[in-house]
Structure 1
Amino acid sequence: MKPSQFAKGFKARPDTTSSEKRTALDRLNAIDGMVSNEQVNQPAANGRSSAFTPDQDLDSSAILESDEFKTWRRSNRYAAGQVVELPLKAIKPSPFNPRHFYLKASIAELAVNLAKQGQQQAIHVIPDYENPGTFFVSDGGRRVRALKEANKETVKAVVIDLPIGIESYKLGYDLNVQRDSQTVFDNAIVWKRFLDDQHFQSQRELADHLGLDESTIAVALSIAKLPENVMHEMVARPDRFGSNMAYQVTRYHTARGTDATLRLINKILSDDLSTRQVADIVKGRATALEAPKVAGRQRYAQRLEIKLDGISVGDLKSYGDDRLELRLRGLSKQKRDELLEQIEQMLQSNAAKQ
């Protein structure tokens, strides 16, 4: 990559040794292997307080590091891989964050958990060398937002050695893909911005860097033409709105506009339309009001939307005289297990009465 493709004040380091040829994800895993939560001390002030412990091995020769990070680490007496507590006001989003959409309901739920249990996993941050005492989030943007909503003042963090640029984006992207939390809508917004800001000169260059087919980039850039309020209606249901479905919705929006598209999205969810059915609607073979039926698919008789704390989490559908189908999403493991236990108790109680 050209130096100009990174944010001002940062540059790519040559990748010349076998150790440095590990992926950014491998490098982060190596750092995580050194982390011990027992190293957390008192909150840091300006990144230079007792949170940075002088009794650690400041050379950390096992991990290759940039000159900028080495200088920062030594001046702050920070040991690589150490967990420290930093003020939340010192943490800021990275301009190369792979995520664009954060669901309010998900942040609110995490905030409740953090308020009850505390932060269990440290985030990863990168020093802003041009603004001492501040840090960019490399991994953990959702936790930062939840901690702020929970009115916390500090965050547990590991400071890592990465430039704020495409390399840090690729690291976050790889992590999100592993967690299944990266959506086509995040990609659409961020990849379009990369090309608009000329971090990449073409779709091909971006595809090569990410290791993706160019057609994947092209589809995402088409989806980027959708208004964000339309994307918001689909972000919460990645199981229903993958690349192909989102692309068909984009085509429909081009022809029919926002209001009609929002109605189509509701139809997709309520009637469980397939991508093929939506494609037929786009092509004019069917209307959004009368979508073609897939052979063998039974139409439900009733649908009840399920809400928890006022937030939609799924639905309950009835088919014929003897079939119920419950679909829930976005629940914490604790809430899921509680619901399963309640359903099991209800069924056992009914069986005993019979």
Structure 2
Amino acid sequence: MRKFARRPDAAEIARIAEVTKQPEAIRPSGSPLEPAQDITASRTTYSIGQVAQVPVHELKINPLNARRVVSPAGLDELAQGMKERGQEVAALGYLDDQGTVCLIDGHRRLEACRIAEIPTLRVEIRPKPENEQALYLSSRAANIDREAQTPIDDALAWKMLLDRQIFPSQAELSRRLNVDPTVVNRILGLANLPKPLMAMLTERPALMNLRMLDAIKRFFDVAGEADTETLIVEVASKDLSSRDVDARRVAFQKGPSTRVRGNTQTLNFDRGTSTVKRFAGQGRLILEIKDVTDEKHIDQLQDELNKLVSRFLSEQD
């Protein structure tokens, strides 16, 4: 496959977006994703329902794009395909108050256009989403219909949405996505992986399933970043399963140099926040409940917890 000459800053595409510092998920420095000059006078006027060829330099990206990580190799392949066969699927966008086309979906195709030096992107103009929640949900739905984002995409996007209070709690996020709360919590845990590990996993699509990522995250919690880097390379080269990874973690914990770390999970609910910290291998668990304003709820919760603890820790089965 022919390799495109890449811009000096194109290597930055492989970075995981720093969502708390940088609103755009795919934006290497210097990329002309927004107009670099005043083009209002010469810009084409677009309308809802239209499918238009929009100049790449006129497009704005979606800061709440559901896909948060991209692979340079995948972008090169997409750029090559678009150069040879054209753009097979239209991107989705809407018009902002200035009449500029803002992408809902199609950021990889946009970057592929820039790599292949294709001047325009075909975009279907949709009605403007009513709020930021609707904008994110529209982007996620478009990805799922074509090629779903990865659990790491979801982890980074959901953390950003919760940090910015676009969704007020994990419970509300779970409800709007129609995803089980326990799955939401597992996926959000992946956001704590170091960015270099995320980048390594992104380059190995076969590992980007929740069961495997869960196992790798559990290994990282006890082994740290350096050993996890070695593990990821071995998992990919030897086609290890998530059970194999769990076995490696257990063996690591039993080793003489094992340093046991706490595994902490925090859940935000409408009535308060719970934090559970488990100390692996020590038989110790700490539960903290806070931000509950109604003492009646605290009393009820205390009674239920006492019953639960008694049932699990009693000598009787």
TM-score normalised by the shorter chain: which range applies?
0.5 to 0.7
Is contact 2:105-2:143 (8 Å) kept?
Answer: no
What secondary structure, in the 3-state scheme, does the structure 1 residue paired with 2:64 have? Answer: coil
- Relative to structure 2, which stretch is displaced further, 85-94 or 159-168? 159-168
Tell me what 2:123 maps to: 157
* Equivalent position of 1:90 in the other structure: 58
Deviation at 1:197, TM superposition (A): 0.8
Distance 2:238 2:91 in 1: 40
The CA deviation at 1:157 is 1.4
Q: 1:149-186: per-residue Cα shift (whole Å, max 9, x none)? A: 11122222121103252212212212322334310010
Indicate conservation of the 8 Å contact 2:96/2:128, yes or no. no
Q: Counterpart in 1 of 2:247?
A: 280
Percent identical pairs in the alignment equals: 30
Give the distance between the partners of 1:228 and 1:285, measured in 2 at CA: 23
Change (3 A) 1:116 1:248: same
Counterpart residue number, 1:249: 216
CA shift at 1:195, angstroms? 0.9
* TM, length-normalised to structure 1: 0.56
Q: 1:176 and 2:143 equivalent?
A: yes
Q: Partner residue of 1:203? A: 170
- Per the alignment, residue 298 of structure 2 pairs with none
Cα distance in 1, alignment partners of residues 136 and 125 from structure 2: 16
Q: What are the superposed Cα offsets for residues 173-224 of structure 1, whole Å, 9 maximum, x if unpaired?
A: 1232233431001001000111111112221111001000001111111110
Aligned residues of 1:219 and 1:247 also touching (Cα < 8 A): yes
Partner of 1:141: 107
Residues 87 and 287 of structure 1, relative CA distance in 2, 3 Å threshold:
farther
Flag the 1:203–1:216 CA change in 2: closer, same or farther, 3 A: same
Secondary structure of the residue aligned to 1:100 is coil
Distance in 2, Cα, partners of 1:217 & 1:98: 15
Amino acid at match of 2:93: V
Letter in 1 for 2:137: K
The alignment's TM-score, normalised by the length of structure 2, stands at 0.63
* 1:191 equivalent among 135, 155, 158: 158
Residues 1:172 and 1:270: Cα distance change in structure 2 (over 3 Å): same
Q: Distance in 1 between matches of 2:219 and 2:159?
A: 20
Q: 2:229 aligns with which of 234, 257, 262?
A: 262
Counterparts of residues 110-149 of structure 1 (less than 5 Å):
110-129=78-97, 132-149=98-115
Whole-angstrom CA distance in 1 between matches of 2:52 and 2:172: 38
**SS in structure 1 of the partner of residue 67 of structure 2:** coil
Deviation at 1:119, TM superposition (A): 2.4
Corresponding residue number in structure 1 for 2:187 = 220
**Superposition CA RMSD, Å:** 2.3
Distance 1:260 1:198 in 2: 35
- Amino acid of the residue matched to residue 123 of structure 1? A
Q: What is the Cα deviation at residue 280 of structure 1? A: 1.7
The answer on whether the counterparts of 2:133 and 2:167 sit within 8 Å (CA) in structure 1 is: no
Deviation at 1:46, TM superposition (A): 4.0
Cα distance, 1:204–1:84 mapped onto 2, change above 3 Å: same
Shift of 1:48: 7.0
Distance 1:110 1:241 in 2: 19
Shift of 1:133: 4.3
1:239 is the counterpart of 2:206: yes
8 Å contact kept, 1:48–1:133:
no
Per-residue deviation, residues 329-349 of structure 1 (Å, max 9, x unmatched)? xxxxxxxxxxxxxxxxxxxxx
State the SS of the aligned residue for 1:112: helix
Gaps of 5+ in 2: 1-38, 256-317
The match for 1:316 is none
Give the structure with higher Rg (CA): 1
What is the deviation of 1:99? 0.2
**Pick from 36, 46, 69: which aligns with 1:101?**
69
The aligned residue for residue 338 of structure 1 is none
1:258 CA drift (Å): 1.4
- Following superposition, the deviation at residue 229 of structure 1 comes to 1.5
- Counterpart contact for 1:88–1:148, Cα < 8 Å: yes
CA drift of 1:127 comes to 1.4
Deviation larger for 269-278 or 187-196: 269-278
Deviation string for 1:26-64 (max 9, x for gaps)? xxxxxxxxxxxxxxxxxxx64975x55xxxxxxxxxxxx
